[in-house]
Amino acid sequence: MALSKAQLPGTPHHFFECDIEDCERNCEFYCNICHTRLCKQCRDEHQRSPETKSHEVVLYQLRKRQLPKEKCKIHPTKDKELLCDECKIPICSKCTATQEHRGHTFTDLESIYTENFSHCQGEIAKIHEYFLPTSKDLQREINGDAKEIKKIMDSIRISMKAEAESLKSLVDKVASENIDEVNKIEISLLEKLNNQDTTIEKYITYLNDLDKKFHVFLSSLKPSKLLTAEDIQIQPLPETTNPVMPVFTAGKYSKENIAKLLGKVTFPNKNGEMRKVQPLKAKPPKSNPKPSSYQVMKDSKTTSSVKQTLSLSSSVTELRRFNVPYLNGVWHMSLDQSGRLWFSDGDCFLVQTDLQGNEIQIIKTSGEYEGYHTVTQDGDLIFTNMYTKVINRITPDNNITKFIKTEDWVPLSIYSSRINGDLLVGMGKGGEAKVTRYNKKGIEIQNIQRVNKGQELYRNPIYITENINGDICTSDLSKAAVVVVNKSGQHRFSYRAQGSGFYPYGICTDVLGHILVCYLLNIHLLDQDGQFLSLLLTPKQVSAPISVCVDDKYQLYVGDNLNNTVQVFKYLQ
């Protein structure tokens, strides 16, 4: 399935022939001066010719884009081919001698066009390969959070209304009792005043009677009667008391008091607590598990015979597909020795299924989009915790232990070697990154961080795997490259693909030493030395591949970034 030289990486279905007359060979090169496609032989002749030996000839993928023809309005017979650096407008060569542009500097418009063309292509690739998928993921998360918030807030509103109704009921009861007390006080006060009013009324009657009596004395003709008047004394006024008026003392309460009575919404933990990792409903593994493809690879004789019988198929065929429960995107997958699979997404879920996608168990972790889990030759699941900087181990009987503490380094990706059982861990710390090798007992035995000249090898090693020759292959998202070192840690090559917009994610190798790496739009197939062989699948076959692995039947499993679908393909024969 290797490409012919005419097939261009990134455009696997387009072939171009050499432009030289009577030459029917496929082009590999391009002359930037005369804009001619050239095969290798015609390129050599082009560079030997006295007329064209000074021309700039480059690989076809690195060619300058030919400037579209646009006539100058001032000089209609001339094409615009220069940019006036001062006026920032395209002009023809004849315009340079005019008064308007005299003394100005000029830049080749074709170079600017090529640069901007490539820039636009790179930006378009970034949009479709990274920004759009990432934005859709964020949008899905936001919409999910919005729905969850709506549910929670509805529940809180119901609780608040119930609290308010309860408080209102108590307020009404207390108010009713207070009003009853006021009514009783009013009756008592009025009764006392009524008694005083009766007393005064009687006294007034007495005074009226006495008044009449004195008038009788005054009208009497008998002096003896008037003399007796001095013996009559007016009774004093009856004593009365002013009523003690009640005073209402308003209750001392405030908005804060009411809030305390009714309760309020709070966040018990603003940062959120780390969830404990607990396996759920684990099913016992099947007895006599079938050896995995990697156990077969351990036997060099077997590997050699497999290489002799296997080769790339002329076409890639989809065998089946299934959905992984609970996941929102299949970001990473690991194959265990019993043929079962572990899948993870960007929401910290880790799910084990059988080969048909039936759930076996689910674990809530701290991992997200990285390749943070792997399965050892003994069937143990190994996964990292980026927050606690711990590598955990779960045995087949679901015994969880903290296996390795990585100190200040954050463990991002992990892979269990099928050659010797070592653990390869991609780590980061404060802008630095490295790959550390641990033996089966968790003892650190190797650190790979820089090349001989001190240059940093890694920036963000989010996925890691090992090839059959012991090479360590990592997908470094920040470097936009697949970085490969040999088992001694010496840099072999970095694969960045042609052009811009290459962001590698899931990575695996197969029994033939191929390197398969996802970049959201397709899967790049490389040979053991990093040479591009092909885009393995067509856009019709996959939508957004982000994770890959190969099982013991040499079948390719591809996880989708946009949903929980896993597709299984046959690509070896």
Q: Write out pLDDT tens, residues 185-221.
A: 999 999 999 999 999 999 999 889 888 888 877 776 6
Higher pLDDT, 120 or 360: 360
Mean predicted confidence (pLDDT) in 361-373: 87
| CB-CB contact of 393 with 400 (8 Å) | yes
- Name the pLDDT band for 509 (thresholds 50, 70, 90): very high
- Name the pLDDT band for 482 (thresholds 50, 70, 90): very high
> Residue 295: exposed, middle, or buried by beta-carbon count in 10 A (0-12, 13-18, 19+)?
middle
Higher pLDDT, 124 or 320: 320
| C-alpha to C-alpha distance for 7 and 16, rounded to whole angstroms | 8
- Name the pLDDT band for 568 (thresholds 50, 70, 90): very high
Q: Write out pLDDT tens, residues 455-466.
A: 899 999 999 999
Matching residue, tokens 């490969």: 484
Percent of the chain with pLDDT strictly greater than 90: 35
pLDDT of residue 397: 80
Phi, psi of 166 (to 5 degrees): -65, -45
Contacts of 27 by beta carbon, 8 Å cutoff, 6+ apart: 6, 16, 17, 18, 19, 37, 38, 39, 60
User: Which residue blocks in 35-108 are alpha helix, DSSP H?
Assistant: 40-48
Tell whether the model's pLDDT for residue 300 goes beyond 70. no
- Name the pLDDT band for 222 (thresholds 50, 70, 90): low
pLDDT of residue 202: 92
- Work out the mean pLDDT of the chain and round it to a whole number: 82
Q: Write out pLDDT tens, residues 236-280.
A: 888 888 888 888 887 777 777 777 777 777 666 555 554 443 443
| DSSP-assigned states of every residue in 463-507 | EEEE-TTS-EEEEETTTTEEEEE-TTS-EEEEE--SSS------E
Closest CA to 140 of 281, 347, 310, 289: 347
Classify 293-572 by CATH class: mainly beta
Mean predicted confidence (pLDDT) in 28-44: 89
Domain ranges of the chain: 115-262, 293-572
Mean predicted confidence (pLDDT) in 322-333: 90
Its pTM stands at 0.50
Tell whether the model's pLDDT for residue 282 goes beyond 60. no
Closest CA to 494 of 455, 536, 438: 455
Angle at 128 between CA 124 and CA 133, to 5 degrees: 150
